[in-house]
Structure 1
């Protein structure tokens, strides 16, 4: 007894051509060798493809219905001439590719995700229609708005139906309420599904707002961190200083700098950056970078004093060299004070 190709595709003999295609599509995707490994899976897949190759052809199906697999592959007399024996070409992936247009077992799903089908109601009933391409608008936000989050309202104009039959449209204004999460990243897309023009031939497009940051006069955002540039004099770079920061949330933070500020030096102030979107209320860091303003001229006495301080620091093995320079500068300032203004010893 030969193979029952209807049984292979799991369909009755009364199935239509569309039923055969649907059955083959489901089974071919399920048993594709890229999904299932093993000799048995390969044999099943080959049998599924052969069954479709037979039943999708009207002549082969007619011979199979009357004579079975044996008659189909042996050859049978026809009304006008002898019908040649059927031989499957033996390449199931060829049958698969002829049907799907590709050998990928995920193509059917990917095609649906990229180009899904929609049903549209018209005066003639339901029809399948395509969705209009998305409408994109920039959403400009300040660092202050991103820091605190909140609600932003945007006005759009679109065509909407003005009768129950959905045959007439009119341009109307609509206010969209856009929720802003604290710490939202630039490039984030905020989607309003099917808020585009209404049409009987198309599904309305999605309206998408793309977050863009407005430049800030002090801070620059670096992911969840905030960076700022601070100008200091050479004296402040060597002797230390205090940086006053007016934060985005309206606070005043004073950051003492006790290290020597050198080119490329950064001061990290933890938890003073932007809110972390996925871990609110955690915040990033504040990064303070420095621009050192060197003096254009130094008197000879100042150079001598600095040279002496560095020499003493080298003699001491480099230990507390900056403190030595500090003491020398302080002593020099005291000596420059008028004798009448000096404090008693």
Structure 2
């Protein structure tokens, strides 16, 4: 009959992995003075067999003889187990050292200095991690600046000795500089929960732009879209813009509006934080609406106008087109509406 490894470790056959480790630890410490003895080696062998699920399963089914002889498995032959013969290796792997008391002895002989202790252990109050909140501002709030009121809830002291706290609401006044960039972090120092063992955390608000009906901010510039017809894109037009600060401006478009064309109106954008009194630009981008249908006569007139513009080398192209369309309109006047001859 082979060795009963469970009996060696003095545990039951249904013991858990933790039970096996506890048993080995107690026995290894008890026999640590005879580390080279046969009993110490047998304890190490029993532990290594039972702590490994594969070798333990083979031992449970075939005993020590089957474990050390090898047995057929479901897919291949399971080779024989052989103990490596070095109980100190098992001991060292388990305890991390050849002496489980080494760390205690080292601490006793070389105690740590007081400055190695954590700050809390030396009476210092460590600050709590910062608390972040998103602060969404309209473009009007960003343009004019001011003070934004925000309500928060936090723990506050309710006793003079600062031993008790209660959840209370607090209104924070957040300063908004005109033109404050998106992504700016506004720090409200130590407005977090009050705690007798820690310093209150900073509350940090991160600025974000709220979507606007007509404008979008790009750094210090304001961008808007304008809808114009094909005729206006070729012959020019006047764009009316209601600005972010409630003024109405009229922007003449005299250039041909081509794909990618932008009209820049200097100084009508957002205030620049680091340059008081200065502002970014207003950028107008265009969406040209093409007519769904053109009669042949109109196409012929446009074709002739483009031909003349090409012959002229592209100079005064919009004026030529304008003259051709105007002439076409004159020729289409009803005879009854024509002025009588002099």
- Answer yes or no: same fold by TM over 0.5: yes
List per-residue Cα deviations over 1:12-67 (Å, max 9, x = no partner): xxxxxxxxxxxxxxxxxxxxxxxxxxxxxxxxxxxxxxxxxxxxxxxxxxxxxxxx
CA distance in 1, matches of 2:223, 2:289: 19
| Structure-2 change in CA distance of 1:343 and 1:177 (3 Å) | farther
CA distance in 2, matches of 1:119, 1:244: 65
Out of 195, 201, 226, the position equivalent to 2:191 is 195
Where do 1:211-290 residues align within 5 Å? 211-290=207-286
CA distance in 2, matches of 1:344, 1:145: 63
* CA apart distance, 1:314: 2.7
Ranges in structure 1 where 5+ consecutive residues have no aligned partner: 1-116, 121-125
User: What residue number does 2:138 align with?
Assistant: 142
User: What residue number does 2:129 align with?
Assistant: 133
Out of 175, 198, 204, the position equivalent to 1:179 is 175
- Aligned to 1:327, the other structure's residue is in SS state helix
User: What residue number does 1:39 align with?
Assistant: none
Out of 312, 315, 331, the position equivalent to 1:319 is 315
User: What residue number does 2:92 align with?
Assistant: none
Ranges in structure 2 where 5+ consecutive residues have no aligned partner: 1-117
| Structure-2 change in CA distance of 1:138 and 1:343 (3 Å) | farther
- Aligned to 1:218, the other structure's residue is in SS state coil
CA distance in 1, matches of 2:164, 2:132: 25
Q: TM-score, normalised to structure 2's length?
A: 0.62
Between 242-251 and 305-314, report the one with greater CA deviation.
Answer: 305-314
Q: Is the 8 A contact 1:118 1:203 kept in 2?
A: no
Where do 1:71-150 residues align within 5 Å? 127-150=123-146
Q: Is the 8 A contact 1:239 1:260 kept in 2?
A: yes
- Report how many aligned residue pairs link the two structures: 224
Runs of 4+ in 1 over 6 A off after TM superposition: 117-120
Between 318-327 and 220-229, report the one with greater CA deviation.
Answer: 318-327
Q: TM-score, normalised to structure 1's length?
A: 0.62
* CA apart distance, 1:150: 0.7
- Aligned to 2:223, the other structure's residue is in SS state strand
CA distance in 1, matches of 2:288, 2:295: 19
RMSD between superposed Cα atoms in Å = 1.9
